[in-house]
Amino acid sequence: MADKKKETEEVTFTPTGTGIRTNGEIIRSTELPEPTDKKHDELGLSDDDVIDMYDQMYLQRRFEERAMQMYQKGKFGGFLHLYMGQEAISTGTAYALNDDDDIITAYRDHGWGLVRGVSPKEGMAELYGKETGCSNGKGGSMHFANIEEHFWGGYGIVGGHIPLGGGIAFANKYKQNGRVTACFLGDGAVPQGALHETMNMSQNWGLPCIYAVENNGYAMGTAVHRHSTGEIVDRADGFDMKKMVMNGMDVFTVYEKMKEIATDIRENSQPWFVEIRTYRYRGHSMSDPMKYRTKEELEEYEKLDPVERMKNYLLDEDIIDEDKVEEIKSSVEDTVMEAIEFAEESDYPEKEALYDHMFAEDDYPFHT
Partner 1 sequence: MAELQFREAIRAAIDEEMAQDEDIFVMGEEVAEYDGAYKVTEGLLDKYGSKRMIDTPISELGFAGIGVGAAMNGLRPIVEFMTFNFAVLAADQIINHASKVKYMTGGQVNVPIVFRGPNASAGQLSATHSVSYDAMYAHFPGLKVIYTSEPADAKGLLKSAIRDDNPVLFMESEQMYGLKGEVPEEDDFTIPIGKAKVKREGGDVTVVAHGKMYHVATQAAQKLAKDGGVEVEIIDPRTVKPLDIETIVKSIKKTNRCVIVDEAHPFGGLAAEVGYLIQREAFDYLDAPVQRVTLPDTNAPFAKNLFDEWLPSPDQVIDAINTVTYRK
Residue type, 292: Y
Residues 6+ apart with CB under 8 A from 200: 239
DSSP 146: B
Give the number of other Cβ atoms within 10 Å of residue 200's Cβ: 14
Contact between 364 and 358 (Cβ < 8 Å)? yes
178 touches partner 1 by CB under 8 A: no
Site for partner 1 in 271-300 (CB under 8 A): none
324 three-class SS: helix
Q: Minimum distance from CB of 322 to partner 1 (Å)?
A: 41
- Tell the burial category of 76 from Cβ atoms under 10 Å away from its Cβ (0-12, 13-18, 19+): buried
**Cβ closer to partner 1: 104 or 328?**
104
351 touches partner 1 by CB under 8 A: no
**Cβ closer to partner 1: 138 or 259?**
138
Applying CB under 8 A, the span of 7-15, 157-165, 232-240, 316-324 interacting with partner 1 comes to 157-165
Applying CB under 8 A, the span of 24-32, 71-79, 92-100, 193-201 interacting with partner 1 comes to 193-201
- Tell the burial category of 23 from Cβ atoms under 10 Å away from its Cβ (0-12, 13-18, 19+): exposed
164 touches partner 1 by CB under 8 A: yes
Q: Minimum distance from CB of 105 to partner 1 (Å)?
A: 13
Among the listed residues 47, 61, 48, the one whose alpha carbon sits nearest the alpha carbon of residue 333? 61
Applying CB under 8 A, the span of 29-37, 192-200, 272-280, 324-332 interacting with partner 1 comes to 192-200
**Cβ closer to partner 1: 341 or 353?**
353
Q: Minimum distance from CB of 297 to partner 1 (Å)?
A: 34
Applying CB under 8 A, the span of 5-13, 259-267, 271-279, 356-364 interacting with partner 1 comes to 356-364
106 touches partner 1 by CB under 8 A: no
Q: Which one of 45, 194, 241, 274 is in contact with partner 1 (CB under 8 A)?
A: 194
149 touches partner 1 by CB under 8 A: no
204 touches partner 1 by CB under 8 A: yes
**Cβ closer to partner 1: 8 or 176?**
176
Q: What is the DSSP string of 51-78?
A: HHHHHHHHHHHHHHHHHHHHHHTTS--S
Helix 162-175 to helix 193-205 angle, to the nearest 10 degrees?
20
157 touches partner 1 by CB under 8 A: yes
83 three-class SS: coil
Contact between 180 and 259 (Cβ < 8 Å)? no
Q: Which one of 137, 186, 188, 208 is in contact with partner 1 (CB under 8 A)?
A: 137
User: What are the phi and psi torsion angles at 240 (to 5°)?
Assistant: 55, 35
Binding site for partner 1 (CB under 8 A): 102, 104, 133-139, 143, 145-148, 152-153, 155, 157, 160-172, 174-175, 193-194, 197-198, 200-201, 204-205, 356-361, 364-367
